[in-house]
Amino acid sequence: MSTLYKFNKYLLFILFGFILVFLPACEKDDVKPDDPKILARNEFYELMKEWYFWYDKMPDVDVEDYDTPEELLKALRYLPYDRFSYIASKTEFENVVQGKYIGHGFGYSFDSEGNPWIIFVFKDSPLYPEGVRRGWRIVKVNGKVISQSNIGTIFGDSKEGVENTIEFLTPSDSTVIITTAKKEIQKNTVLHSDILHIGGKIVAHLVFEGFREPSENELADAFGFFKNAGANEMILDLRYNPGGIISVTTLLGSLISGEDTDNRLFFKYLHNDKKTSYDEEVTFAKEPNSLNLKSLIVITSRSTYSASEIIINCLKPYLNVVTIGDATGGKPVGMYVWYSDYADYAFVPISFKIINANGEGDYFEGILPDASCEDDITRQFNDREEACLKEAIYYLTTGSFSGRKGRFVSQPLKERLTLEDEIGAI
């Protein structure tokens, strides 16, 4: 049937090796040979019956009632737990793995009054050399005010060359108007790194956006810098990190924990009862630039998912892990990826769950923070007055939390059903 790209276990989890898996597909004589979507629908149904983590909880359906794999997935999804399975084109999916997409190269968020703000800008963005940074407010696009209802369409199609004129308000209250065209953006996943000196402690501070193919070199550079600086504490900012490649997850966990966890159990994959032979244990690796930390502070939000949650949950048996911000997104499960034999589809259904060395997982409602604070989108990541960083510094200084909550309201759980959700940027 389909070729399984055993994507290094995908949470979004991706590329580990290539394994051919032949599932009991429908006979090609059963469908019209000139209708690839029907053929793809049928192979997807067979796939779900074998590999879907909740195959035994799927509703009974008549597959002939659905014309495409996308329609069938919507009918088969096990709710409320599966907020994540999706289908994309092969090229779109591969671009996400590589950290590439078509756009302007920035992330955004709305404040409590409905104003949109820049929350990060990738270095490959045409806006980066123009000086656009986190903390700039988007006033208008092509003369129109942005709202939460039109944000998905106001920037136009995701095609190279699509131009938009964007009016910004800078932190100094200056108006800046820039006309810029969409292009293929190569994400940098380390958005910021620096060293903080706090009460005699040398604190590594890393803002990490995603576990992608380019991340290994970026993390090597960042942790080489931290190691040379003598870092003995760490603030890891994962507030905008939706997950990614499992090899990068293992790398980051190993760089944080160090020699005390070398070759010890990091986490386990557990599959449905048809696929228990694929259950697997993943151990920490020995890394020369590991920091050998005993504790870790992680800044989180509802946009902190899967691989990011593995870092939190699966380091807890070995380190004192403290979380600050909002509850995480709640994705203790992951996916494999199958390419259709008949049409341009990448099938990405939930295929396994993750537990730590203590057997703990199932955080579908998210991992609750030890201290709550709002994402202060008006301030730079290294601004010590930024609410979450300020709380982390308070904890490192005093060993307790400030108790400041301000206007904090925890955000609801989100669905991540499309490739746009995985990209997380414009």
Residues 6+ apart with CB under 8 A from 224: 289
Q: How far apart are CA 153 and CA 13, in angstroms?
A: 28
For the stretch 283-319, pLDDT in tens is 999 999 999 999 999 999 999 999 999 999 999 999 9
Q: How far apart are CA 366 and CA 368, in angstroms?
A: 6
Residues 25 and 62 in one domain: yes
Residue 362 has pLDDT above 60, yes or no: yes
Residue 24 has pLDDT above 70, yes or no: no
Residue 307 is predicted with a pLDDT of 95
Instruction: Report yes or no on 345 lying in a domain.
Output: no
Residues 218 and 273 in one domain: yes
Residues 266 and 401 in one domain: yes
Locus of tokens 């997104």: 329
Residues 370 and 321 in one domain: yes
Residue 413 is predicted with a pLDDT of 55
For the stretch 75-129, pLDDT in tens is 999 999 999 999 999 999 998 888 899 999 999 999 989 999 999 999 999 999 9
Asked whether 281 and 50 are in contact (CB, 8 A), the reply is no
How many domains in the chain? 3
Instruction: Report yes or no on 121 lying in a domain.
Output: yes
Residues 170 and 203 in one domain: no
| Percentage above 90 pLDDT, the chain | 82
Residue 152 is predicted with a pLDDT of 87
Mean pLDDT of 350-357: 97
Identify the bridge partners of residue 361 per DSSP, sorted by sequence position.
none
For the stretch 265-284, pLDDT in tens is 999 999 999 999 999 999 99
Instruction: Report yes or no on 389 lying in a domain.
Output: yes
Identify the bridge partners of residue 269 per DSSP, sorted by sequence position.
280, 354
DSSP 115: -
Residue 420 is predicted with a pLDDT of 62
Residue 9 is predicted with a pLDDT of 42
Residues 396 and 416 in one domain: yes
For the stretch 140-170, pLDDT in tens is 999 999 999 999 899 999 999 999 999 999 9
More confident residue, 366 or 415: 366
Instruction: Report yes or no on 339 lying in a domain.
Output: no
Residues 298 and 391 in one domain: yes
Residue 146 is predicted with a pLDDT of 92
174: domain CATH number is: 2.30.42.10
Mean pLDDT of 341-356: 96
Among 315, 320, 262, smallest CA distance to 286 is for 262
Name the pLDDT band for 410 (thresholds 50, 70, 90): low
Give the range among 9-13, 26-30, 75-79 with minimum mean pLDDT.
9-13
Residue 404 is predicted with a pLDDT of 74
Q: Which helix (H) or strand (E) holds 20?
A: strand 17-20
Please provide the average confidence, as pLDDT, over all residues in the chain.
Answer: 89
Give the range among 29-33, 390-394, 400-404 with minimum mean pLDDT.
29-33
Residues 319 and 398 in one domain: yes
| Percentage above 70 pLDDT, the chain | 88
Mean pLDDT of 317-339: 96
Q: How many CA atoms lie within 13 A of 76 on its CB side?
A: 28
Residues 229 and 300 in one domain: yes
Residue 26 is predicted with a pLDDT of 44
Residue 418 is predicted with a pLDDT of 56
Q: Which domain holds residue 31?
A: 3-97
Instruction: Report yes or no on 284 lying in a domain.
Output: yes
Mean pLDDT of 122-139: 97
246: domain CATH number is: 3.90.226.10
Residues 172 and 66 in one domain: no
Name the pLDDT band for 403 (thresholds 50, 70, 90): confident
Residues 311 and 379 in one domain: yes
Q: Which of 97, 127, 155 is the last residue of a domain?
A: 97
One-letter amino acid of 105: G
For the stretch 53-62, pLDDT in tens is 999 999 999 9
Residue 19 is predicted with a pLDDT of 31
For 30, the 3-state DSSP assignment is helix
Residues 160 and 291 in one domain: no
DSSP 76: H
Q: Which of 186, 209, 239 is the last residue of a domain?
A: 186
Instruction: Report yes or no on 338 lying in a domain.
Output: no
Q: How far apart are CA 305 and CA 241, in angstroms?
A: 7
Instruction: Report yes or no on 378 lying in a domain.
Output: yes
Mean pLDDT of 40-44: 96
For the stretch 171-223, pLDDT in tens is 999 999 999 999 999 999 999 999 999 999 999 999 999 999 899 999 999 99
Q: How many residues does the chain have?
A: 426
Burial readout 334-347 (b: 16 or more C-beta within 10 A, e: otherwise): bbbbbbbebbebbb
Q: How many CA atoms lie within 13 A of 116 on its CB side?
A: 23
More confident residue, 407 or 370: 370
Instruction: Report yes or no on 160 lying in a domain.
Output: yes
> Tokens for 74?
């919507």
